[in-house]
């Protein structure tokens, strides 16, 4: 699969009309990312918070709307979904039924059953569904994947994903959906750790079995703020993962790959800089637009994005039962 190294010019001069679902910070990032590409415009914005939606529309363009029907009455080519995770598939299906391509924020949704329904609907409608797993677009991780796939590190032995983050209490208490089972689907794993799970699968391939444990150690939420797992891969390698939003002071995400011929550790950039920079999301948009214009496959489509949710679901099942379970 072609890796995106940086901003590249489009081969088509046709304008691309983008609608945004969601009025929060991630939708603002989506807006900045989309508008960084020549020929792209924001045409509509929809979300539950009328004030945030209006502010987003004023800053980036587009007609604000209170309902999905009103939102979809504006002609658009792509809808970028940044709403609470448990609404993703429902809203993406609504777009697919109208023939609109979809870029959805991670995770695709909070259950594989809902993702499967989306995939089926997108297939029927003949539209593409891409996922914002922007870490794949970074040059360092792209180079690491090439080294692994090319055999430079030898046979894969271990991959360790580490997410020791801090979230203040108001991160959850000020939100109507974070930390809830219905709309967040889980805690430190499904929300924050999903990026790390995706990278582990992208680099090492399919996972077959997991053994997991979860706990709520600090935050007053109905899901986990701390989790650990052993992951078994189809290629015989092992993975270990731990994720938390209860660490103080918190550290950057880290990924370590160990093979029979070499080992590599990757650490993400400083968090504040990463949040402010929309360039990685812009690369996802660029890749997705190329997939539409060439009838190709996005760097991460809904089927690929389903894999990380399947692993997280398996970790939750293992944690609840106390035994090793298969990834489904």
The residue with tokens 């209860």 is 246
Report yes or no: 112 and 310 within 8 Å, Cβ to Cβ. yes
Dump the DSSP string for 128-157: -EEEE-GGGGSHHHHHHHHHHHTTTT-SEE
Dump the DSSP string for 164-186: E-B--HHHHHT-SSTT-TTTTSS
- Cβ atoms within 10 A of the Cβ of 298, count? 22
For residue 2, the 8-state DSSP code is P
Report yes or no: 236 and 209 within 8 Å, Cβ to Cβ. no
**CATH fold of the domain at 16-135+277-301:** Rossmann fold (3.40.50)
What Å distances lie between residue 141 and 203, 256, 271, CA to CA? 9, 11, 17
Burial class of 218 by CB neighbour count within 10 A (0 to 12, 13 to 18, 19+): middle
State both tokens at 50.
């009328």
pLDDT at position 72:
98
**Left if phi > 0, otherwise alpha if psi is -120 to 50, otherwise beta: which for 305?**
alpha
pLDDT at position 8:
46
> Where in the chain are the domains?
16-135+277-301, 139-270+308-326
pTM over 0.85: yes
Q: Which of 148, 129, 130, 151 is nearest to 140 (CA)?
A: 148
pLDDT at position 6:
39
pLDDT at position 274:
55
pLDDT in tens, the chain (328 residues): 333 333 445 556 679 999 999 999 999 999 999 999 999 999 999 999 999 999 999 999 999 999 999 999 999 999 999 999 999 999 999 999 999 999 999 999 999 999 999 999 999 999 999 999 999 999 999 999 999 999 999 999 999 999 999 999 999 999 999 999 999 999 999 999 999 999 999 999 999 999 999 999 999 999 999 999 999 999 999 999 999 999 999 999 999 999 999 999 999 876 555 557 899 999 999 999 999 999 999 999 999 999 999 999 999 999 999 999 999 9
3-state secondary structure labels for all residues of 46-93: ECCCHHHHHHHHHHHCCEEECCHHHHHCCCCCEEEECCCHHHHHHHHH
pLDDT at position 3:
33
Show the CA angle centred on residue 309, arms to residues 308 and 312, nearest 5°. Answer: 90
For residue 3, the 8-state DSSP code is P
Burial class of 146 by CB neighbour count within 10 A (0 to 12, 13 to 18, 19+): exposed
Q: Of 2.40.30.200, 3.30.413.10, 3.30.360.10, 3.40.50.2300, which CATH number belongs to 139-270+308-326?
A: 3.30.360.10
């Amino acid at each position: 699969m072609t890796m995106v190294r940086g901003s590249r010019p489009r081969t088509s001069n046709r304008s691309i009309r983008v609608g945004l679902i969601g009025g929060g910070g991630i939708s603002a990032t989506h807006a900045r990312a989309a508008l960084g590409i020549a020929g792209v415009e924001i045409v509509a914005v929809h979300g539950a918070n009328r004030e945030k939606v209006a502010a987003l529309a004023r800053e980036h363009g587009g007609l604000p709307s209170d309902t999905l029907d009103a939102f979809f009455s504006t002609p658009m080519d792509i809808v970028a979904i940044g709403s609470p995770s448990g609404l993703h598939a429902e809203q993406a299906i609504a777009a697919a039924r109208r023939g609109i391509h979809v870029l959805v924020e991670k995770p695709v949704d909070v259950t594989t059953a809902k993702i499967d329904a989306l995939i089926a609907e997108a297939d029927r409608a003949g539209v593409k569904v891409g996922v914002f797993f922007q870490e794949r677009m970074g040059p360092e991780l792209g180079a690491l994947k090439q080294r692994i796939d090319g055999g430079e590190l030898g046979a894969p032995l271990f991959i360790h994903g580490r997410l020791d983050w801090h979230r203040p209490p108001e991160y959850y208490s000020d939100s109507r959906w974070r930390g809830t089972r219905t709309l967040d689907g889980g805690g430190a794993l499904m929300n924050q750790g999903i990026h790390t799970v995706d990278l582990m699968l992208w680099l090492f391939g399919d996972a077959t079995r997991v053994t997991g444990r979860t706990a709520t150690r600090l935050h007053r939420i109905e899901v986990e703020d701390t989790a650990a797992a052993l992951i078994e891969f189809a290629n015989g390698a092992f993975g270990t993962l731990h994720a938390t939003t209860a660490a103080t002071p918190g550290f950057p995400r880290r990924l370590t790959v160990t093979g029979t011929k070499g080992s590599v550790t990757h650490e993400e950039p400083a968090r504040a800089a990463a949040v402010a920079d929309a360039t990685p999301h812009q690369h996802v948009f660029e890749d997705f637009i190329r997939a539409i214009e060439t009838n190709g496959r996005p760097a991460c489509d809904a089927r690929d994005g389903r894999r990380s949710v399947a692993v997280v679901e398996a970790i939750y099942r293992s944690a609840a039962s106390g035994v090793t379970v298969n990834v489904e």
